[in-house]
Amino acid sequence: MDTDIKVALVGNPNTGKSTLFNVLTGLNQKIGNFPGVTVDKKTGICELRDGRNAQIIDLPGTYSLYPKSRDESIVFSVLADRSNPLKPDLVVVILDASNLKRNLLLYTQVADLKVPVIIALNMMDMAQKAEITIDVNAIANKLGVPVVPISARKGEGIDKLKEAIAFANKIPLQENTIDVDVLAPQLIATIGEELHIDNHYFALQLAHQHETLHFLTPEQSERIEELEKEFSFHSQKSQAAETIARYNFINDLLYDTVTKKETAQDQTISNRIDRVLTHKTFGFVLFLGILLFIFQSIFAWSAYPMKLIGDFFVWAQSSLHHVLPSGPLTSLLVDGVMGGLSGVMVFIPQIAILFGFISILEDTGYMSRVTFMMDRIMRKVGLNGKSVVPLIGGFACAVPSIMSTRNIENWKDRMITIMVTPLVTCSARLPVYTLLIALVVPSRNVWWIFNLQGLALTGMYLFSLVSAVTVAYVMKYILKSRERGYFIMELPVYRMPRWKNVGLTMYDRSKAFVLQAGKVIIAVSVILWVLASFAPGDRFKRIEQKYAQSQYTQHMNADDLHRAIASEKLENSYAGMLGHTIEPVIRPLGFDWKIGIALITSFAAREVFVGTMATIYSVDGDAEKMESVQQKMQTAKNPDGSPVFTAAVAFSLMMFYAFAMQCASTVAVVYRETKNWRWPAAQFAYMTVLAYVASFVTFHLLR
């Protein structure tokens, strides 16, 4: 769609910026990435009254133009860099009317960059409730910019805002806020002269941020560094002085434009809610309850849609097999690509549900209270209060949980959370565990009520949490942090969730996962399909010839024959050969080459283990037929006549699945979130080593 003007939304976090973005653009949204960084770029189209289209860019929420996180550093780059294709024609600064003072700091910084700007004064209804009276016209006059009062939640004032966007000037008309020059007069003048920058505040910002700005050449950056030394410029002192000057300006501005009735803060509803939700005991009990509810819902609510998706693909695959002529191309399309696609799609319900809940928790303001309560415990093991939700979400699925780590501003905390989340027992491990536990753990009760099998399963779950926390603790000392850990965080007032935002978040996250992680998963699935369906030379032909002989065709029914062929083909395929090849390596863990095949095929997704076992032991791999797989595995014998699946082997295998990164989706999503192959590679390596060691130890202890 053609766009006539580009409009950037800028504002503090929790000011209703995304709500306004959603109101302005509706479903005309696109999520991309800012070039070179992992920050999501949300853009959308808004149709103005006069028929023109405005492209709206939602910039990350920030308290100041001096970035404290990678997300925030985008804001200055987009606003100031003249060569940036996203450079807006107009900036809409969103201010929370109920907290104008702190919100205005960012406005004064943006205004001094001399880009055309208008103010959207959001949450006017909240301000009225808090008995804050704001003289909107007086503020507009003093600042020299249009100020439009709105309530994004209720959709009030949106038409006025659109009008203001349409009528906005192409040249900046706002008044200067502070005297920037006094902060570093010579430095600003020299940078302006040498780099041809007219705007003094922009020049000053370059002095502060030149090390991290991509649009400066290395020579320019070095020159600025030299100049800073020459004029003995101290970045933090200058920032401190600037902030004080700005707040002086703001206090002057608000002195006769805003009046506030003094109310006892303890009486606000938010405070009363907080007394319960962050209570010493109730707080934790409630939090545990909420987590259990989310965890249960992800399991329970996603089961049906996941089954539908799974069934749909089974149906589509079998009907395509019927329609299309059989051959390698059909098989590639149906078994490889469609198989991979179903592996991607099946995650959508869990992703959508987890993000639905997370978005509700964030929207209401409860998430920051969780962080507040849990920070102390989590900090001890190198994590952050905000790591709690991804870790618990990991019980359902690591993929959405890793996507949800974006809330963690601190880079090191976020990386550690991403690195350890896949250790938590996800739902894909469940079929593997249940199969193996049923195989070797007797189903009898101890202490009357505890079933031994249930205890074993619970043990695996607890064990995964312990290992995640332990690895996090170790990583705390390995990772070098570039940022200093802050916990200076706003606790926003409690609000009702905005259901439209919740819905859009669910949609956005699912879409991002399918489009970006999906590619990798399909690629891996196709590779695995090739390995499992081709064999060197004429091995397959010989197997088919063998089973075409009358001794087989006459004594076996069609299904059994089909399964026997499939089983022998898998053994002779490249995957089977690989299974044989890795046997010497996995022998010390107690695994034979058949288990080796299952390890290889379940690389893309753990639950494939059960299906592969079914194929290898020639039975139907349906969930309902799980018992028959179990029987076959139970009676499986080594060449010397001893049973294959002893307790030692089964537990060793469970340990392997507990630690090994057997999930292409997670690898893909870690890459997507970190934008660097080193992270998924390091994660894969450490998890594989741990898996090997844990299996080895388990096998030799139990043997």
Partner 1 sequence: MRLSQLEVGQSGIVKEFTDLEMSVKLMEMGCLPGEEVRVSRIAPLGDPIAIQVSGYQLSLRKREASTIILQ
Name the nearest CA neighbour of 65 among 29, 24, 96, 109: 109
Instruction: Return the number of the residue (489 or 561) whose C-beta is nearest partner 1.
Output: 489
Instruction: Return the number of the residue (372 or 552) whose C-beta is nearest partner 1.
Output: 372
Strand 90-96 to 5-11 pairing: parallel
Q: How far is the CB of 65 from partner 1 (least distance, A)?
A: 10
Q: How far is the CB of 270 from partner 1 (least distance, A)?
A: 8
Cβ atoms of residues 218 and 129 within 8 Å: no
Classify the phi-psi angles of 110: left when phi > 0, otherwise alpha if psi is within -120 to 50, otherwise beta: alpha
Question: Could you tell me the two tokens for 303?
Answer: 């089961």
Instruction: Return the number of the residue (132 or 143) whose C-beta is nearest partner 1.
Output: 132
Helices (H), 513-607: 518-533, 539-548, 550-555, 558-572, 574-586, 593-601
Q: How far is the CB of 569 from partner 1 (least distance, A)?
A: 59
Instruction: Return the number of the residue (130 or 332) whose C-beta is nearest partner 1.
Output: 130
Return d(Cα 525, Cα 478) in angstroms, integer. 33
Q: Angle 564-569-574 (CA atoms, 0-180°, nearest 5)? A: 155
Classify residue 318 as exposed, middle or buried by CB count within 10 Å of its CB (0-12, 13-18, 19+): exposed
* Residue 100, φ and ψ in degrees, nearest 5: -65, -40
Return d(Cα 120, Cα 95) in angstroms, integer. 6
- Work out the number of other CB atoms within 10 angstroms of the CB of residue 83: 6
Question: Could you tell me the two tokens for 264?
Answer: 């006892």
Instruction: Return the number of the residue (211 or 490) whose C-beta is nearest partner 1.
Output: 490
- For residue 53, the one-letter residue type is N
Please enumerate in sequence order all residues whose Cβ is within 8 A of that of 90, keeping only pairs 6 or more positions apart, or say none: 5, 6, 7, 8, 115, 116, 117, 118, 165, 168
Instruction: Return the number of the residue (487 or 499) whose C-beta is nearest partner 1.
Output: 487
Classify the phi-psi angles of 483: left when phi > 0, otherwise alpha if psi is within -120 to 50, otherwise beta: beta
State the first-to-last Cα distance of the chain, in angstroms, to the nearest integer. Answer: 67
Instruction: Return the number of the residue (52 or 102) whose C-beta is nearest partner 1.
Output: 102
Q: How far is the CB of 421 from partner 1 (least distance, A)?
A: 23
Q: How far is the CB of 454 from partner 1 (least distance, A)?
A: 32
Q: Which residues pair with 8 in a beta bridge?
A: 57, 91
The site for partner 1 (CB under 8 A) is made up of: 63-64, 66, 68, 98-99, 101-102, 105, 236-237, 239-240, 243-244, 247, 260, 265, 270-271, 274-275, 278-281, 283-284, 368, 371-373, 375-377, 484, 486-493
Q: How far is the CB of 455 from partner 1 (least distance, A)?
A: 31
Q: How far is the CB of 493 from partner 1 (least distance, A)?
A: 8
Instruction: Return the number of the residue (99 or 612) whose C-beta is nearest partner 1.
Output: 99
Stated as kind and residue range, the H or E segment containing 655 is: helix 647-659
Q: How far is the CB of 377 from partner 1 (least distance, A)?
A: 7
- For residue 527, the one-letter residue type is I
Q: Angle 266-267-272 (CA atoms, 0-180°, nearest 5)? A: 80
Return d(Cα 230, Cα 187) in angstroms, integer. 9
Please enumerate in sequence order all residues whose Cβ is within 8 A of that of 76, keeping only pairs 6 or more positions apart, or say none: 65, 67, 205, 209, 213
Instruction: Return the number of the residue (370 or 392) whose C-beta is nearest partner 1.
Output: 370
Local structure of 484: helix, strand or coil: coil
* Residue 425, φ and ψ in degrees, nearest 5: -60, 105
Q: How far is the CB of 396 from partner 1 (least distance, A)?
A: 26
Instruction: Return the number of the residue (276 or 585) whose C-beta is nearest partner 1.
Output: 276
Cβ atoms of residues 620 and 628 within 8 Å: yes
Q: How far is the CB of 210 from partner 1 (least distance, A)?
A: 17
* Residue 133, φ and ψ in degrees, nearest 5: -105, 130
Instruction: Return the number of the residue (29 or 368) whose C-beta is nearest partner 1.
Output: 368
Instruction: Return the number of the residue (15 or 404) whose C-beta is nearest partner 1.
Output: 15
Instruction: Return the number of the residue (72 or 568) whose C-beta is nearest partner 1.
Output: 72
Instruction: Return the number of the residue (278 or 615) whose C-beta is nearest partner 1.
Output: 278
Q: How far is the CB of 39 from partner 1 (least distance, A)?
A: 20
Cβ atoms of residues 475 and 416 within 8 Å: yes
Instruction: Return the number of the residue (170 or 484) whose C-beta is nearest partner 1.
Output: 484
Q: How far is the CB of 419 from partner 1 (least distance, A)?
A: 24
Q: In residues, how long is the chain?
A: 703
Q: How far is the CB of 111 from partner 1 (least distance, A)?
A: 16
Question: Could you tell me the two tokens for 389?
Answer: 């939700």
Q: How far is the CB of 140 from partner 1 (least distance, A)?
A: 21
- What are the C-alpha distances in Å from 158 to residues 49, 315, 391? 12, 47, 39
**Can you spell out the DSSP letters for 360-427?**
HHHHHTHHHHHHHHHHHHHHHTT--GGGHHHHHHTTT-HHHHHHGGGG--SHHHHHHHHHHGGGS--T
Q: How far is the CB of 292 from partner 1 (least distance, A)?
A: 19
Q: How far is the CB of 407 from partner 1 (least distance, A)?
A: 15
Cβ atoms of residues 24 and 158 within 8 Å: yes
Q: How far is the CB of 244 from partner 1 (least distance, A)?
A: 6
Instruction: Return the number of the residue (174 or 278) whose C-beta is nearest partner 1.
Output: 278
Return d(Cα 551, Cα 566) in angstroms, integer. 18
- Work out the number of other CB atoms within 10 angstroms of the CB of residue 1: 7
Instruction: Return the number of the residue (199 or 278) whose C-beta is nearest partner 1.
Output: 278
Strand 40-47 to 29-33 pairing: antiparallel
